[in-house]
Amino acid sequence: TVNITIDSKKLQVEQGLTILEAARQANIKIPTLCFLKDINEVGACRMCLVEIKGARTLQASCVYPVSEGLEIYTQSPSVREARKVTLELILSNHDKKCLTCVRSKNCELQTLAEELNIKELRFEGETNNYPLDDFSPSIVRDQNKCILCRRCVSVCKDVQTVNVISATERGFKSAIGCAFDLSLADVPCTNCGQCISVCPVGALREKDDTDKVWKALANPELHVVVQTAPAVRVAIGEEFGLPIGTRCTGKMVAALSKLGFAKVFDTDTAADLTIMEEGTELLNRIQNGGKLPVITSCSPGWIKFCEHNYPEFLDNLSSCKSPHEMFGAVLKSYYAEKMGIDPAKIFVVSIMPCTAKKYEAARPELSANGLADVDVVLTTREAAKMIKEAGIDFNNLEDREFDDPMGEATGAAVIFGATGGVMEAALRTVAEILEGKSLDNIEYTAVRGTEGIKEATVEFGGKKIKAAVANGLGNARKLLDSMKDGAEYDFVEIMACPGGCVNGGGQPIQPSSVRSWTDLRAERAKAIYEEDASLPIRKSHENPIVKKMYEEYFEKPGSHKAHELLHTHYTA
């Protein structure tokens, strides 16, 4: 440890900490703007400046390490003035249309302006005027709101290893963008939305599709149904001020029902169906010498990453459509028939923690009989916006169940929302098929947790299955490279977002002041596993609705009809 003084408070702190971290431990708040722990620690914005006794200039506390005898002042007049000037300069070239900004009230720049008591703007001058980049089906970039913090650049380059956005030019002209001023739609962006999640302001956001849904809801010709992904229920509460990791399944269903959807369904039901199809596919490939490993194909950011960077693995992908796409196909076939509704009149809305799902839903590979499986994808954030716009008092809603006749799902399905969940769900079913009996021990903890790459070898009925799980595209890259170097697996799960869907690019955005010190992935995943443990049925093959679907319609997993509707193929 070392002895330091911050604002005349004597402290003993661990060596290796930055001043910012040491101050935080002592409950002394230093403002930050570009700082995001482990992702962007560059000292670029100069907002976290502090005065150090004996030093000639003010120092950025987010990168300055503590040392013996350091005397630090976080609120001296020169520090306060320097921060204000820095902030005012940023504001002078910011478009300041807060009233109509998606991030109003959840903007780190707005919060800082309030906290630093900015009352007037001393430097009004020339402002940049960039065109909006809204050509991507998932991501909108508004450079006029960009404050050049570089968090998006760091997450895209270092965490996701996609590296399609970077700083261009210098000085007044400096900007964040794609090479040759291309749109995000025209570069190998995966639509993962991680850049949105880390953006402190409104410079990055999802393509807003709420109007399409309002319009559909108002159309009496349409039967508008909605389905919700596993990870949405453990995060949507954050949009309504509830603590991170609050389970809101019942309130979420109630709110969507109030919005006027004819039925509120659970993507989890289709996740159980996916396990039946994917499990069968895995066993088939193992038993008949098919291509191994089977790699999961439900994360559309991962699919696009694979297409651009690892086309040699495309044939390893499971042919299963992702659960919400399967559900769309089922709703426009089996359900349509059962209910006597023209499939063309069924409008399927998916609420997803994901921005890449918008891109996925528009892919021609994901349609059947000339109809897109899913009509509109909304993020968790957009769903919350609709609920707010409708004046629904979310926190005081009474819990409601998903609707019949497709409203049943298992614990195996809900864990899809956390990294390792698809693997665990598949193992719960594959184990029983290979052992030929019901098993009590169904928790595969080796594949749980936020570790970037997890491995497990399991043995059922004398068959060994080697499994690997990667979350975050940087980890996917590592795992795929190791496979190119000879590592062998039977079954691999890959999710594009760090932590899996719970930390998807469409989830509620937490500011750096929260995100840097709380593991969102772990907190939300904890709620997911609690939900699993609370459910009466926890194995996909025991889902009564899935059983019924096979009896009445699909016959058996992997049948001709199942292939027609529930499977697809991706080519580069």
Q: Which residues bind ligand SF4 (CB under 6 A)?
A: 139, 155-156, 160, 162, 164-165, 184, 189-195
- Taking only Cα atoms into account, the Rg of the chain, rounded to an integer number of angstroms, comes to 25
Nearer to ligand SF4 (CB atom), residue 229 or residue 409: 229
d(CA 188, CA 148): 22
Please indicate whether residue 114 is annotated as part of the active site.
Answer: no
Catalytic residue among 138, 299, 318, 516: 318
Please indicate whether residue 281 is annotated as part of the active site.
Answer: yes
Q: 47: which DSSP letter?
A: T
Give the shortest CB-215-to-ligand HC0 separation in angstroms.
24
Binds 160: which of ligand HC0, ligand SF4, none (CB < 5-8 Å by kind) = ligand SF4
d(CA 135, CA 367): 22
Give the shortest CB-182-to-ligand SF4 separation in angstroms.
12
Please indicate whether residue 360 is annotated as part of the active site.
Answer: yes
Nearer to ligand HC0 (CB atom), residue 237 or residue 500: 500
Please indicate whether residue 197 is annotated as part of the active site.
Answer: no
Binds 353: which of ligand HC0, ligand SF4, none (CB < 5-8 Å by kind) = ligand HC0
Binds 271: which of ligand HC0, ligand SF4, none (CB < 5-8 Å by kind) = ligand HC0
Please indicate whether residue 357 is annotated as part of the active site.
Answer: yes
Nearer to ligand HC0 (CB atom), residue 296 or residue 309: 296
Residue ranges in contact with ligand HC0 by CB under 6 A: 229-231, 267, 271, 298-299, 322-324, 352-354, 357, 416-417, 422, 495, 500-501, 504
CB 40 within 8 A of CB 156: no
Nearer to ligand SF4 (CB atom), residue 156 or residue 549: 156
Binds 192: which of ligand SF4, ligand HC0, none (CB < 5-8 Å by kind) = ligand SF4
Provide the phi-psi class of 400: left if phi over 0, else alpha when psi is between -120 and 50, else beta: beta
3-state secondary structure 420-432: CHHHHHHHHHHHH
Catalytic residue among 298, 306, 320, 497: 298
d(CA 310, CA 456): 23
Nearest one of 490, 541, 499, 500 to 518, comparing CA atoms: 499
Please indicate whether residue 365 is annotated as part of the active site.
Answer: yes
Give the shortest CB-486-to-ligand SF4 separation in angstroms.
28
Give the shortest CB-241-to-ligand SF4 separation in angstroms.
27
d(CA 469, CA 452): 8
Give the shortest CB-298-to-ligand HC0 separation in angstroms.
3
Binds 504: which of ligand SF4, ligand HC0, none (CB < 5-8 Å by kind) = ligand HC0
Binds 189: which of ligand SF4, ligand HC0, none (CB < 5-8 Å by kind) = ligand SF4
Q: Are strands 346-352 and 294-295 parallel, antiparallel or unpaired?
A: unpaired
Give the shortest CB-505-to-ligand SF4 separation in angstroms.
6
Give the shortest CB-232-to-ligand HC0 separation in angstroms.
6
Neighbours of 6 (CB within 10 A): 23
d(CA 550, CA 179): 49
Nearest one of 382, 402, 364, 387 to 535, comparing CA atoms: 402
| Burial profile 214-224: b = 16 or more Cβ within 10 angstroms, e = fewer | eebbeeeebbb
Structure token pair of residue 230: 């596993």
Binds 495: which of ligand SF4, ligand HC0, none (CB < 5-8 Å by kind) = ligand HC0
Catalytic residue among 278, 325, 382, 432: 278
CB 410 within 8 A of CB 269: no
d(CA 499, CA 477): 15
Catalytic residues: 278, 281, 298, 318, 357, 360, 365, 501
